[in-house]
A and B are shown apart, each in its own frame.
Chain A
Amino acid sequence: MRFTMRKTSISIILFLIGIAMILPVLWMVSSSFKYESDVFKMPMEWIPSYFNPQNYITAITEFPYAAWYLNTAKTTIVVVFLVLSISAMSGYAFAKLNFKGKDIIFFLFISTMMIPIQVRIIPQFMMFKSFGWINSHLTVTMPWAYNAFSIFLMRQFFMSIPNDLIEASKIDGSNAYGTFFKVVLPLAKPSLTALTVLSFTWGWNAYFGPLIYINDNARQLLAVGIATFKAEYADNFAIQMAGATLALIPIIIVYIIAQRQFIEGIALSGVKG
């Protein structure tokens, strides 16, 4: 009996903190349907007495929303694919394959985790300019071909796979690639899920790159596009909230559908440091 009391009270406290965490999002959705004059009315109306769709109509007609979504979806998928495939292959090589200079290369890679991206952003800008990549989505996707953090993450996971398993696969006649794709990769599902979540948020939240490399509004990504709302409708918070809601709803839907695997994936993988 005492145990249930304790369990219930902790659950309630944690639930209330959870509500506090999502309160800004609830307020955003609620305000996005209000008339501007009601947004800051006190005491607050959580469910507006009438739903005003005008903010959404203004947002969608005055800003290239559909293009921003598509661009962001496209670049995010490419980022996830690049990060997963390249990091898994490298992580496996550093964990289980033998080749000359392996430790030195791995150390070199890991030490780059401390280098802030800002140190390379200026030469990278010049490089992309000379490639003719300005305004192209290659500028926001291709740099993910190298990502030390996720290589490290995958290596940590592959280290935990028993060597016997790899030996057994070799004896069965698989070559290194066969072993990797058919035996090892399927086992890496929790880590790959975790990395999918992380790289998805990296891709979806990309801000610094597109801000610098993309200036054509129709080719812009969501995170930068949304920020223009605040500048253009500085005094209209209802429209700002509609714009923010349009940016958040798709990601929240994806998240709710996949949340179990999302969080389990991170919690179960080797992200322990």
Chain B
Amino acid sequence: MVKRNRMKHIKENAVGYSFILPSIIGFGLFMAYPLLHSLFLSVMDWNMFKGLSGSTFVGLENYKAVFENEYFRAAIMNNLKFMVMAVPLLLIISLLLAALLNQKIYGRGMIRAMYFMPYIATITAAAVVFSALFHPEFGPVNGLLKLVGIADPPGWIASVKWALPTVALFWIWKNMGYCVVIFLAGLQGISRSYYEAASIDGANKYQQFRHITVPLVSPTTFFLAVTSVIASFQVFAEINVMTQGGPGTSTVTVVYHIYDTAFKRFIMGYASAVSWVFFFVVICITGLQWLGQKKWVNY
């Protein structure tokens, strides 16, 4: 009996492992190994032009260089500003739209499809279109602003002050449909009976939204807050197509800085150190969100 049980156990394990084997291989090859290698590179002085033999161990020198580099400092500040500008706005607008869409309305399918379309659109093509729309001299956005009497409209992506907000606007437009759909999924899990009870008690639509919808959808909000923050830190295609980090350092982000030093200037050791500092920052922010969730997320 014991023996049969053991056989069963071995078989069970084998079946289980066979199901996850492809993922394990992928994990090893595309996650575990590159991570360890990257950690190793980050303590080496290695410029790709020198070849591997030209690399020397430098300890934490690269990390010191990261904190002393003004581009990195500008990049991390831009990432934080971008997060603060884009993520709350994205979540608030998406939740409001999802709450409206979750009611009985005409043409729901078509409207949802319109909101979701930017998310599907090829990112660089959309970035090309936005660059033209927000062109400081000829762009239709400024054309319209001049038409309504604003004589000196913003320079958008050509202006140090406006470039980052313009990219943020583009990012919100691109990702809103996804957030709306995820919020809709969350809203559909809220029982109608809460609203019925509240309306019998005389709560108006705003009170119902504030005291039923917002708290009960909070696990979804939390999920989107965590994933959107991580995504906002990884913004890259938008920057590379629309601004190339400029004007000045006004739109340099950490990922753009990594790309620039690693794949344009081939300073691999330093770039690896940047990526680990970056990872640490993302972990800290996600950790803070986890700690903060007790205050506002209702499971």
Determine the distance from Cα of A180 to Cα of B120 in the docked complex, in whole angstroms.
31
Q: Could you say which residues of chain B place their CB within 8 Å of the CB of A114? A: 230, 279, 282-283, 286
Q: A14-B111, A86-B23, A267-B184 are in contact. Are A273 and B222 (CB under 8 A)?
A: yes
Q: Is the interface of A mostly helix, strand, loop or mixed?
A: helix
B31 touches A120 (CB 8 A): yes
B219 touches A223 (CB 8 A): no
A267 touches B121 (CB 8 A): no
**Mask: chain B, 87-115; 1 = CB below 8 Å from A; 0 = not:** 00000000001001101111101111111
Q: Could you say which residues of chain A place their CB within 8 Å of the CB of B107? A: 11, 15
Q: Could you say which residues of chain B place their CB within 8 Å of the CB of A18? A: 110-111, 114-115
A24 touches B130 (CB 8 A): yes
A-B contact pairs, 20 of them (CB 8 A): A14-B100, A22-B117, A25-B117, A43-B147, A89-B22, A90-B22, A97-B15, A99-B16, A99-B17, A122-B41, A123-B38, A123-B41, A123-B272, A145-B30, A223-B122, A226-B124, A255-B113, A259-B109, A266-B185, A267-B188
Q: A120-B35, A207-B124 are in contact. Are A21 and B117 (CB under 8 A)?
A: yes
Distance in angstroms from B245 CB to nearest chain A CB is 15
Distance in angstroms from A96 CB to nearest chain B CB is 10
A58 sits at the interface (CB 8 A):
no
Can you name the residue of chain A whose Cβ is closest to the Cβ of B297? A273
Determine the distance from Cα of A103 to Cα of B128 in the docked complex, in whole angstroms.
45
A93 touches B186 (CB 8 A): no
Segment touching A, from B65-73, B133-141, B193-201: B133-141
Q: Could you say which residues of chain A place their CB within 8 Å of the CB of B176? A: 21
Query: Which residue of A11, A39, A116, A263 is within 8 Å of B278 (Cβ)?
Result: A116
Q: A241-B128, A259-B116 are in contact. List 19 more A-B contacts (CB 8 A).
A: A7-B106, A14-B100, A14-B101, A22-B114, A24-B126, A90-B20, A99-B13, A116-B278, A121-B275, A123-B33, A123-B34, A125-B262, A145-B26, A226-B125, A230-B241, A245-B125, A259-B113, A263-B181, A272-B185
**Mask: chain A, 134-151; 1 = CB below 8 Å from B; 0 = not:** 000000001101110001
Q: Which residues of B contact A (CB under 8 A)?
A: 12-13, 15-17, 19-20, 22-27, 29-31, 33-35, 37-38, 41, 97, 100-101, 103-107, 109-133, 135, 138-140, 143-144, 146-147, 173, 176-177, 181-182, 184-186, 188-189, 219-220, 222-224, 230, 233-234, 236-237, 240-241, 254-255, 258-259, 262-263, 268, 271-272, 275-276, 278-279, 282-283, 286
